Amino acid sequence: MLSLATTRLAATPASAPPQRIVALGGAITETLYALGEEQKIVGVDTTSLYPPDALRAKPNVGYFRAFSAEGVLSLKPTLVIAASAAGPEDSIKLLEESKVAVARLPDNFTAEGVESKITTLGHLTGTDAKAATLAKTVAQGFAQLATLRAKVHERAHVLFIIAMQGGRPLVAGTGTAADAVIALAGGVNVAQGFAGYKQMSDESIVAAQPDVVVMMANGKPPAPGEIFSLPAFKTTPAAAHGRLVALDGLYLLGFGPRTPQAAKDLFAAFYPGLK
């Protein structure tokens, strides 16, 4: 069994870079492509939507939170790199018992977390120099973002809707990638008082008075009129000014190399007068 903690791997240079990698997590796949390691990827999960060729060209092992160990093992990987939420645990355990190296990367929705993810993946794949260059570029992007945030005098109040369920919004609370990207873009998440994702009552939305509503653009997101005609939103500043922002889910919440640009795009939507 060779199950390696990310922190240990980060401290130990890869002596023999893996030649057959299965990536379980969209940001992991995206980063491996950015490091030029796509030729070593032999399987990806269904969230690996960027670059678009990844899911089209590579064998699909299913959703990373519900993958089959047998499907992964059939690809004969020498390394499986998985997001910390990958599972089920029985599948992870089966991989380990099959003597496949498994590296699990922790979720860390910060600028430092993105840079650490890039550095760790560079270490795992023997591409430390490329990773250092990419991490530097990403760090510069976050620094530019911090400069933009310093220009904000009155922060936008933002509600992030993950999905509509039975006509009610499932929103992002604290500790989520959505909460983190709102903060990076200089906004304030109005869904406070709970962690994770939860349906929000009409009364709570009215009381929160969001200036902007953010949604993911995967599939066909609702038109502004569909959201703002709901009783919970009719009296909000977001409805008064038609401020609904829809962006690609992985781009917005993946916390990969494109995160600085995604947060800048969100910043531009929050503060169209600031550059």
pLDDT in tens, 223-255: 888 899 999 999 999 999 999 999 999 999 999
> Domain extents for the chain?
17-105, 153-270
The fold of the 153-270 domain, in CATH, is Rossmann fold (3.40.50)
Nearest Cα residue to 40 out of 63, 60, 17 = 17
Contact criterion met (CB below 8 Å) for 262 and 251: yes
Contact criterion met (CB below 8 Å) for 29 and 59: no
Domain 17-105, what architecture? 3-Layer(aba) Sandwich (3.40)
Name residue 28's amino acid. I
Q: Given this chain, do its domains 17-105 and 153-270 carry the same CATH topology?
A: yes
For the segment 141-187, what is each residue's pLDDT rounded down to a tens digit? 999 999 999 999 999 999 999 988 888 899 999 999 999 999 999 99
For the segment 67-95, what is each residue's pLDDT rounded down to a tens digit? 999 999 999 999 999 999 999 999 999 99
pLDDT for the residue 165? 84
Separation between Cα atoms, residue 139 and residue 15, nearest integer Å: 27
